[in-house]
Amino acid sequence: MTGFRARLKAALGALTVGFALAAAGPAHAQRIKDLASVQGVRSNQLIGYGLVVGLDGSGDQTTQTPFTVQSITAMLSQLGVNLPPGTNLQLRNVAAVMATAVLPPFARPGQQVDVTVSSLGNARSLRGGTLLLTPLRGADGRIYGMAQGNVVVAGAGAAAGGSGVKINQLNSGRIPSGATVEQEVPTPVGQGEYVNLELHGTDFATAGLIAEAINRRAPGAAAALDGRVVQVRAPRDSNERVAFLAMVNELAVDAPAPAAKVIINARTGSVVMNRAVMLEEAAVAHGSLSVAISSDPVVSQPNPFGSGQTVVTERTRVQIQQEGGQLVHVPASAKLVDVVSALNAMGATPTDLLAILQALKAAGSLKAELEII
């Protein structure tokens, strides 16, 4: 281990030189911290059920949300207020909510984290409310934090006479630093001789380059186990281990080009593609089909002094219109800007582009992976 510590000190001494080389390197060079994370260093989700009080008549309608009444009764009993049996509570200033938070790694008792509060019942707004003391539990059911504070809602709304205006979402808000950590989650980074680096995406080339970059600073310290994990031998001393991991995270790696991929959001019509997407030469013809349906009410009245009844019917009209599409030549393109220009030349809408890209992929012209989200 003595020789390893000597290599570590030499690597730390050359860190400044490494920063200079990284700054002068190619534009696609990335730090290891942007490509991978230390195994075991992760956040944890917390959740809790509570009550928001102090609302201006915009809380739950207790007749339709019985759990809100049960929560109020249980809370009052814990505070020494016992309601007579059969009491019918009609409170409009209280809302049942779910409180969520993220417990960051290495969080210690006494630290504060932000809390998101979301309405669980039929409250119209949480604006101006205060979250009462709410325990936050982890997946194991243990309490890791306690939340309380004023809810900040980034929105506004008003209603009168059957008309209303609402800006943003009023049924959820945040409490900055609204939860206090009560117990920590053990992080196994300081245990064992090795530390594993997990890549954000599986790529054998990137894993090999990361191991190579680490071995240039600390020879023999890193080995790529597969396309996702790089195993690194680190000092056992906590101070040296922290310094070593800091050095490793700042190393620059000439990451290879990402896999060609096109992301399609079928719900919004959004299409996103990276710079590795290429097109082979093809010919495309696409025509738009639109269907319009309209109906008008028609009143049929009987003759004067007749025995018939007035009947309201509908007159429906259906129109189908198809726009002609001409055959468009799509040239071969190896750059993203050329791919975009070729697709724009067809004049297709985002919705039409979804079908065109799928057809180009099926024909073998689109050299990319299609992912529909």
Q: Is 67 helix (H, G, I), strand (E, B) or coil?
A: helix
**Whole-number Å distance between alpha carbons of 35 and 235:** 22
Do residues 278 and 259 lie in contact, with contact meaning Cβ atoms separated by under 8 Å? Answer: no
Same domain membership, residue 14 and residue 72:
no
Q: What are phi and psi of 80, to 5 degrees?
A: 90, 10
Same domain membership, residue 59 and residue 25:
no
Same domain membership, residue 141 and residue 63:
yes
Q: Could you list the beta-strand ranges (E) of 56-169.
A: 95-103, 112-119, 130-137, 143-150, 156-160, 163-167
39: amino acid identity, one letter: Q
Same domain membership, residue 245 and residue 270:
no
| Residue finishing a domain among 160, 181, 202 | 181
Q: Is 369 helix (H, G, I), strand (E, B) or coil?
A: strand
Q: What is the pLDDT along the chain (373 residues), one digit of tens a residue?
A: 445 445 444 443 433 333 333 333 344 688 999 999 998 888 999 999 999 999 988 888 877 888 888 888 889 888 888 888 777 777 889 999 999 999 999 899 999 999 999 999 889 899 999 999 999 999 999 999 999 999 999 866 666 555 666 667 789 999 999 999 999 988 777 677 899 999 998 889 999 999 999 999 999 999 999 999 999 999 988 888 889 999 999 999 987 877 888 888 877 778 888 888 888 888 877 666 555 666 677 777 777 766 777 777 777 776 666 566 566 677 777 676 777 777 777 677 777 777 888 888 888 888 888 888 8
**Whole-number Å distance between alpha carbons of 317 and 311:** 20
Q: Which helix (H) or strand (E) holds 215?
A: helix 204-217
The pTM of this model reads: 0.69
| Residue finishing a domain among 201, 235, 254 | 254
Same domain membership, residue 341 and residue 288:
yes
Same domain membership, residue 342 and residue 283:
yes
Nearest CA to 25 among 278, 196, 232, 209?
A: 209
**Whole-number Å distance between alpha carbons of 40 and 56:** 45
Same domain membership, residue 216 and residue 290:
no
Domain count, the chain: 3
Q: What is the pLDDT of residue 17?
A: 34
**Whole-number Å distance between alpha carbons of 115 and 147:** 7
Same domain membership, residue 176 and residue 70:
yes
Q: What is the pLDDT of residue 306?
A: 66
| Residue finishing a domain among 142, 161, 181 | 181
Same domain membership, residue 248 and residue 269:
no
What range does the domain containing 74 cover?
44-181
